[in-house]
Amino acid sequence: MDFVEVVPSLYRIELDFVNAYLWCDPGDLTLVDSGYHGTGAAVLDAVRRLGQDPAELRRVIVTHSHDDHTGGASEIVETLPDVSVIASRADAPVIRGEREQAAPVLEDWERRMADGLPDLPKAPPVRVDLEVEDGDLLGFAGGATVVAVPGHTAGSIAIHLPLHRVLFTGDIAANVQRLIPGVFHLDRAEAQRSFERLADLDVDTACFGHGEPVAHDAATALRSVAAEL
**List of residues contacting Zn ion (CB under 5 A):** 66, 171
Closest to Zn ion by CB, 40 or 104? 104
Shortest distance, position 92 Cβ to Zn ion, whole Å: 16
Burial 8-38 (b: 16+ CB within 10 A, else e): ebbbbbbbeebbbbbbbeeeebbbbbbbbbe
25, 138 contact by CB (below 8 A):
no
SS3 for 160? strand
Shortest distance, position 171 Cβ to Zn ion, whole Å: 4
Task: Give CA–CA dist 49/43, Å, rounded.
Answer: 10
Closest to Zn ion by CB, 66 or 188? 66
Closest to Zn ion by CB, 3 or 184? 184
Shortest distance, position 156 Cβ to Zn ion, whole Å: 8
Shortest distance, position 68 Cβ to Zn ion, whole Å: 7
Shortest distance, position 174 Cβ to Zn ion, whole Å: 9
How many other C-beta atoms lie within 10 A of the C-beta of residue 103?
A: 8
Return the ∠ at Cα 70 (arms to 175 and 20), rounded to 5°: 45
Closest to Zn ion by CB, 75 or 171? 171
Closest to Zn ion by CB, 40 or 170? 170
Closest to 154 measured CA to CA, from 102, 199, 86, 193: 102
Shortest distance, position 150 Cβ to Zn ion, whole Å: 13
Closest to Zn ion by CB, 91 or 171? 171
Cα dist from 157 to 7, 74, 152, 172, 197, whole Å: 22, 20, 9, 9, 12
